[in-house]
Structure 1
Amino acid sequence: MPARELQEQLDTLREQLEKNPPLTESERDNLHQLMQQIESQIEMENTVPDASLSDGVNLAVERFELEHPTIAGTLRNIVQTLGNIGI
């Protein structure tokens, strides 16, 4: 169940990025890297969780909080779900 929630949140983030918010190339790359890490974690759900993943998402929340609050909100939801599944 948590993996499904996490996938839904990633889908929401993807949709937000497809609307082409005014992000720098670096910001967009950072988000894509985080999304790939999260997808890898979902695929390896039964293996050892990557604790640095939630740290990376938290840093992204801080980075996008002021200029992109919708993206930051979705990232916060992802952090919460990661916490719920023990990451």
Structure 2
Amino acid sequence: MPAREKLQEQVNILREQLEQDPPLPLEKRQALEALLAKFELQLELEPATQPPSISDDVNRAVEGFELDHPGIAATLRNIVVTLGNIGI
């Protein structure tokens, strides 16, 4: 599976987890939704024009979800790997 398709699949999984997981504090939910919006923008851009900061944003999000929402954190880690495979 090409990396872009894998990223889209992981974004979809993350959206499902956001809907299914126990309620998140508003601040965390908004941060995760903003991150999802960035991923979707990434999918539309050419790799050469993509900002490298998205990986840093995802790594910070992993730290924020690791303890209370390990499923979301695992999906975010997969996204970091996929972004690396894309060259971001």
Question: Which residue is equivalent to 1:37?
Answer: 38
Deviation at 1:45, TM superposition (A): 2.8
| Alignment gaps of 5+ in structure 2 | none
Is residue 2:79 matched to residue 1:78?
A: yes
Q: Normalising by structure 1, what TM-score?
A: 0.94
RMSD in angstroms over aligned alpha carbons? 1.1
The one-letter code sitting in structure 2 at the alignment partner of 1:52 is S
Structure 1 distance, partners of 2:63, 2:47, is: 29
Is residue 2:9 matched to residue 1:8?
A: yes
* Contact in 2 for aligned 1:57/1:79 (Cα 8 Å): yes
Instruction: Name the SS for the 1:33 alignment partner.
Output: helix
Question: Which residue is equivalent to 1:66?
Answer: 67
Q: Deviations over 1:33-61 (max 9, x none)?
A: 00100110111134412111010000000
Q: Normalising by structure 2, what TM-score?
A: 0.93
Instruction: Name the SS for the 1:54 alignment partner.
Output: helix
| Alignment gaps of 5+ in structure 1 | none
Q: Following TM superposition, where does structure 1 have runs of at least 4 consecutive aligned residues deviating by more than 2 angstroms?
A: none
State percent identity of aligned pairs. Answer: 55
Q: Deviations over 1:14-44 (max 9, x none)?
A: 1111114231000000000001001101111
Aligned length: 87
* Contact in 1 for aligned 2:7/2:79 (Cα 8 Å): yes
